[in-house]
C-alpha cells in the first residue's frame, strides 16, 4: 500500500465517467469523509441515489461511520479501492 507520511492512499473510480482519482486520507477518517473527499477530488457533486462501494462491489452504506483503519483491518475494503455508482448508469 502506498502511504505518504503514514497516510493511506485512497483510489476511487466514478463509474458514470470512469474517472479515477487517488489521494491520501487519514486512517481516522470515516468512510463518509472519504466519500466526500472523493467528490471534491473528482470535481463532482453527490447525486440522489449514488452509492459508495468497495471495488469488489460491497455496499458500504452500513460502514460509513467506520474509519478507514477499521474497514481495512476487517478486510471489508482491502485494498483501499472504492467506486461511486450512480442510479443513472455506470460501467457495471
What CATH number is associated with residue 49? 3.10.20.90
pTM comes to 0.89
- In a domain, residue 62? The reply is yes
Q: Which string of DSSP letters, residue by residue, matches 62-88?
A: GGTTSBHHHHHHTTSSSSSEEEEEBTT
Domains in the chain, number: 1
> Do strands 81-85 and 7-14 pair parallel, antiparallel, or not at all (unpaired)?
parallel
- In a domain, residue 90? The reply is no
**10-64: per-residue pLDDT in tens?**
999 999 999 999 999 999 999 999 999 999 999 999 999 999 999 999 999 999 9
DSSP SS3 for 89: strand
- In a domain, residue 25? The reply is yes
DSSP SS3 for 14: strand
Rounded Cα gap, residues 52 and 82, in angstroms: 7
- In a domain, residue 92? The reply is no
- In a domain, residue 65? The reply is yes
Rounded Cα gap, residues 25 and 11, in angstroms: 10
What's the pLDDT band for 4 if we cut at 50, 70, 90?
low
Amino acid at each position: 500500500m502506498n502511504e505518504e507520511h503514514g497516510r493511506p492512499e485512497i483510489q476511487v473510480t466514478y463509474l458514470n465517467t470512469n474517472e479515477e482519482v487517488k489521494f491520501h486520507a487519514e486512517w481516522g477518517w470515516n468512510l463518509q469523509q472519504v466519500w466526500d473527499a472523493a467528490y471534491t477530488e473528482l470535481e463532482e457533486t453527490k447525486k440522489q441515489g449514488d452509492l459508495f462501494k468497495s471495488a469488489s462491489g460491497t455496499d458500504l452504506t452500513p460502514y460509513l461511520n467506520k474509519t478507514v483503519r477499521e474497514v481495512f483491518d476487517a478486510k471489508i475494503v482491502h485494498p483501499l479501492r472504492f467506486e461511486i455508482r450512480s442510479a443513472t448508469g455506470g460501467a457495471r
